[in-house]
Chains A and B, each alone.
Chain A
Amino acid sequence: MYKILKKEALSDVTKLMVVEAPQVARKAKPGQFVIVRVDEPGERIPLTIADYDPQAGTITLIFQEVGKSTMQMGTLEPGDELITVAGPLGHPTEIQNYGTAVCVGGGVGIAPAFPIARALKEAGNSVISIIGARNKSLLFWEDRMRTVSDELTVCTDDGSYGRKAVVTEPLKELLETRGKNSIARVWAIGPAIMMKFVAATTKPYNVPTIVSLNTIMIDGTGMCGGCRVVLDSGAQFVCVDGPEFDGHKVNWDILLSRLRFYVDQERVAVERWKHQCKLDSAVAGAGA
């Protein structure tokens, strides 16, 4: 069992948890993920490690409540326990001094972008970060990103905070004004559709672009192949071959289609969960 030590609401639907998981914290590196389970009937949820402290034996997880499992996880409080935290899984990010690196974080993807930006900075890179979300309430960690970035642009789709833009706009300007040779590498972490467009934006400039994929997964150890992604060279498994890939080589249409495969079941599960929550609170209300 893995105890939750701290919980913080980063937005209405984005939660941060610090979890006791010494065997993961000891080995974790930027770019890796864990598989989490909330309770016995629960599914195995892949979550990127947002931060880790080997001395304290803790990891930080940040998740957006988008489905039944993450909504349920959001109801847990410090002192509660997760029944599974397996990892660290996947390859760590290849950190070296590339020169100038750009980190793009979208929505909940800002969380995993942070340790990568920090490691790039520590390795001597000049780090330019762009973070964005649909609106102000979904943004978080602007301050943390600023501490590890030489430049930071914040944008929202609706203009409720920072610049009114999607992340690809400042990225394109950067590529135009700096010239492609001055930017060595781009990292993009966020919704699949955002990563697809970041890759499309950098492609004409030929700037290597690394995306961190969060596909549907079960075991996370290379056993089921449910997470497979199609690259130019054929299919690979996100859990063991990734989670980071060359964004210019990913077949985004297949990826997006596979991500939507269980959308009907997800809706059923969410409705059932909300109904259960209503019943629970009605019972609690009646008891009081």
Chain B
Amino acid sequence: MAKKIIPKKTPMPEQPPGERVKNFNEVPYGYTAEQAMAEAQRCLQCAKPLCMTGCPVNVNITGFLKLVADGDFRGAINIVKETNSLPAITGRVCPQEQQCEIVCALAKRFEPVAIGRLERFVADWEAAQVDLPIPQLRTLTGKKVAVVGSGPAGLTVAADLAKMGHHVTVFEALHEAGGVLVYGIPEFRLPKAIVRREVEYVCSLEVKLVKDFVVGRSATVDELLEEYDAVFLGSGAGLPWFLKIPGENLSGVYSANEYLTRSNLMKAYRFPEYDTPIARGRRVITIGGGNVAIDASRTALRLGAEESIIVYRRSRDEMPARAEEIHHAEEEGVQLMLLTTPVAIHGNENGHVKELECIKNELGEPDASGRRRPVPIKGSNFRIPADIVVIAIGQSPSPLIPKTTADLKTGEDGVVTTDNETGKASKKGVFAGGDVATGGATVILAMGQGKKAAKAIDEYLKTGQW
């Protein structure tokens, strides 16, 4: 019997824009069981599913969708967790439209199956159950691995290695585990309770978590190697870039890292109930076109900004942010000022930001990234009043670990040099993955690298071969 195709995704209910800009609660509510089953039934169950190949951690997508369609949610989450230890997170923050959903057979003529929403659904379903399954006992190998950083790469490596029977200790510099998931991504996109839940799951695999431990200072990588058989570096890209324009160090100019860390990790949006303050400007300008810029501009609205403006040097088509995020931001009232490059920040007599001076651009020939290059239009300078300026133009790995580790090679922008397939660094016993090895990518790519590295670490621990 030919299956009747439903052309569109089952809509996911969400907070209306006018409401949600007044709070930090998550925007989409998630599917109900009925909605999830209906959406999963749209899957054609292809014999050779392409969706799986589009997934950096190769989740058995058709397998889990089949079980969701049948209402076997326990079975479905078990399949997801075979390859993905953090499904509630990836279901929310993965760019599915560029990975699994873009290659969905339905996508050629219709909307693809909402794979991300369904992954989120099964993970949330499991969290709501009282009888959580006890992780399987494993045979212990007696080998010890130190994982530096508890972000997406570190948590994935830790979970996979623990399942293989190795003793894993995760070292985290901050007071809460999760890395960019807790300091960078806002509550309204990824509730911190969900990150905590996924961290607890990883810890339930007998992974030891040591917080407040700054590798490079509290102990060096060389010192860790005296105690551990292997070290995985998943320390992220923590060093924020600045524009190097005049006025950048005025009060009221934030790096996106600082603005978001204050709001997310330190909960400054709840000041004075929480101690960490954050400046609440009437007019907030965010510079940059990626997901981080979108997160900052949406945070500004929730902190009470009357106007939240994104200044980006190229056009909308070149913005690296996810289309869905740009859409959400515009719905909420974020304004895009495109083809505009900041050239200076002007302050008042107290050293506070007062205006951003910009120049207009036109698009020229494509540059090395394949995107059309912005070319400044001479004499088009203009000024925009601003109370707060947030710089969200990217970041690179912190130099702390490379500087304090003997023989650890780094490339451009301090990125740790690794072998693509194994994550092996230039130093024996040291592996790396995630933003520290790429310079800045997505949560799921970091997890994909973590999975590869876990396999390679297991191999190294078994054979001793480097």
Chain A residues within CB distance 8 Å of chain B: 23-24, 27, 35, 37, 41-44, 68-69, 83-89, 218-226, 228, 230, 234-235, 240, 253-254, 257-258, 260-262, 265-266, 268-269, 272
Residue B342 lies at the interface, judged by CB distance under 8 Å to chain A:
no
B156 shortest CB reach to chain A, Å: 21
5 inter-chain pairs at a CB distance below 8 angstroms, sorted by A residue, are A23-B218, A86-B212, A86-B213, A88-B218, A253-B351
A27 touches B219 (CB 8 A): yes
Contacts of B175 in A (CB 8 A): 37, 44, 83-84, 86
Q: Which residues of B contact A69 (CB under 8 A)?
A: 275
Question: A21 to nearest B CB, angstroms?
Answer: 9
Asked whether B254 is an interface residue with its Cβ less than 8 Å from the other chain, the reply is yes
Whether B239 contacts A222 by the Cβ 8 Å rule is yes
Tell me which residues across on chain A come within 8 A of B275, comparing CB atoms: 41-43, 68-69, 269
Q: Cβ of B97 < 8 Å from any Cβ of A?
A: no
B261 engages A223 (CB within 8 Å): yes
Q: Which residue of chain A has its CB nearest to the CB of B241?
A: A225
CB neighbours (8 Å) of B10 from chain A are: none
A254 to B214: give the CA distance in the assembly, Å.
Answer: 29
- Measured between alpha carbons, how far is A261 from B267 in the docked complex, in Å? 18
Contacts of B400 in A (CB 8 A): 221-222, 240
Beyond known contacts A86-B218, A269-B275: 12 more, CB 8 A cutoff: A23-B219, A41-B275, A42-B275, A84-B212, A86-B213, A87-B218, A88-B217, A221-B173, A222-B398, A257-B250, A262-B277, A262-B279
- Per-residue A-contact encoding for B243-262, CB less than 8 Å = 1, 0 else: 01000111110110110011
- B382: interface (CB < 8 Å): no
The chain A residue with its CB closest to the CB of B351 is A257
Q: Contact at A240–B258, with CB atoms within 8 Å?
A: no
Q: Which residues from A are CB-within-8-Å of B254?
A: 226
Bound-state Cα–Cα, A260 to B349, Å: 13
Closest A residue by C-beta to B239: A222
Give residues in B with beta carbon < 8 Å to A. Answer: 173-175, 183, 211-214, 217-219, 238-240, 242, 244, 248-252, 254-255, 257-258, 261-262, 265-267, 270-277, 279, 350-352, 398-400
- Closest beta carbon of chain A to B93's beta carbon, Å: 19
Say yes or no: A235 contacts B248, CB within 8 Å.
yes
Across the interface, do A226 and B350 meet the contact criterion of CB distance under 8 Å? no
CA A135 to CA B262, docked complex, whole Å = 36
Which residues from chain B contact A219 at a C-beta distance below 8 Å? 173-174, 183, 238, 261
Complex Cα distance, B175 from A87, in Å, reads 12
Is the pair A41, B267 in contact by a Cβ cutoff of 8 Å?
A: yes
Q: For the complex, what is the distance from the CA of A69 to the CA of B212, rounded to whole Å?
A: 19
Q: In the complex the two chains form, is B272's CB within 8 Å of A240's CB?
A: no
- Whether the pair B257, A224 counts as a contact (CB closer than 8 A) is yes
Query: Known: A23-B213, A44-B266, A261-B251. Contact between A226 and B258, CB under 8 A?
Result: yes
Contact at B350–A27, with CB atoms within 8 Å? no
Q: Which residues of A contact B257 (CB under 8 A)?
A: 223-225
Given known contacts A24-B218, A84-B212, A257-B351, A224 and B255 CB-to-CB distance under 8 angstroms: yes
**Contact in complex: A222, B238 (CB < 8 Å):** yes
Instruction: Assess whether B272 is in contact with A254, with CB atoms less than 8 Å apart.
Output: no
Q: Which of B211, B240, B276 contacts A223 (CB 8 A)?
A: B240
User: Of B218, B266, B279, which contacts A261 at CB under 8 A?
Assistant: B279
The one of B213, B251, B258, B265 in contact with A225, judged by C-beta atoms closer than 8 angstroms, is B258
A24 CB contacts on chain B under 8 angstroms: 218
A189 and B257 alpha carbons, distance in the complex (Å): 29
Most A-side CB within 10 Å, residue of B217, B219, B258, B352: B217
| Best-surrounded residue of B175, B238, B255, B275 (most CB of chain A within 10 A) | B275
Q: Which of B251, B265, B271, B272 contacts A258 (CB 8 A)?
A: B251
Task: Give the complex CA separation of A23 and B217 in angstroms.
Answer: 10
Closest A residue to B210 by beta carbon equals A23
Closest to A221 in B: B173
Q: Return the chain B residue nearest A88 by Cβ.
A: B217
Contacts of A23 in B (CB 8 A): 212-213, 218-219
Closest to B223 in A: A27
> Known interface pairs A225-B240, A228-B249. Does A265 touch B261 (Cβ–Cβ under 8 Å)?
no
Given contacts A218-B276, A224-B261, A261-B279, contact A86 B249 (CB under 8 A): no
Q: For the complex, give the distance between the alpha carbons of A266 and B272 in Å.
A: 9
Q: Which B residues touch A89, using CB under 8 A? A: 214, 217
Which chain B residue has the least Cβ–Cβ distance from A68?
B275
CA–CA, A88 and B212, complex, Å: 10
Residues of the B chain whose Cβ atoms lie less than 8 Å from the Cβ of A265: 271-272, 277
Which residue of B257, B262, B267 has the most chain A CB atoms within 10 A of its CB atom?
B257
Task: List chain A residues, Cβ under 8 A from B240.
Answer: 223-225
Within the complex, the shortest CB–CB distance from A263 to chain B, in Å, comes to 10
- Are B252 and A261 closer than 8 Å at their CB atoms? yes
CA gap between A234 and B267 in the complex, in Å: 31
Residues of chain A with a CB closer than 8 A to B399's CB: 222, 240
Contacts of A222 in B (CB 8 A): 238-239, 398-400
Residue of B nearest to A255 (CB): B249
Centre residue among B213, B254, B266 by max chain A CB count within 10 A: B266
Residues of B contacting A240 in the complex (Cβ-Cβ under 8 angstroms):
398-400
Which residues does chain A contribute within 8 Å of B258, judged by CB atoms?
A: 218, 224-226
Measured CA separation A83–B212 after assembly (Å): 10
Q: Residues of B contacting A226 with CB < 8 Å? A: 254-255, 258
B236 to chain A: closest residue by CB: A223
Taking the closest CB of chain B, its distance from the CB of A82, in whole angstroms, is 10
A35 to B400, CA, bound (A): 17
> Given the complex of chains A and B, what is the CA–CA distance between A260 and B213 in angstroms?
30
| A220 to B400 alpha-carbon distance, docked (Å) | 12
A44: chain B residues at CB < 8 Å are 175, 266, 276
Chain B contacts for A262, CB-based, 8 A: 277, 279
Nearest CB of A to B465, in Å: 33
In the complex, the answer to whether A269 meets B238 with C-beta atoms within 8 Å is: no
Would you give the shortest CB distance from B167 to chain A, in whole angstroms?
19
Query: What A residues does B217 contact at CB under 8 A?
Result: 27, 87-89
Complex CA gap A37/B174 in Å reads 11
Which residues does chain A contribute within 8 Å of B398, judged by CB atoms? 221-223, 240
In the complex, what residue of chain B is closest to A89 when comparing beta carbons? B217
Can you name the residue of chain A whose Cβ is closest to the Cβ of B274? A41
- Interface centre among B183, B211, B212, B399, by most chain A C-beta atoms within 10 angstroms, is B212
Contact of B251 among A35, A84, A257, A266 (CB under 8 A): A257
Chain B residues whose C-beta falls within 8 Å of the C-beta of A42 in the assembled complex: 275
Q: Which of A43, A223, A261, A272 contacts B239 (CB 8 A)?
A: A223
Q: How far is the CB of A41 from chain B (nearest CB, A)?
A: 4
- Would you call B214 and A87 a contact (CB within 8 A)? yes
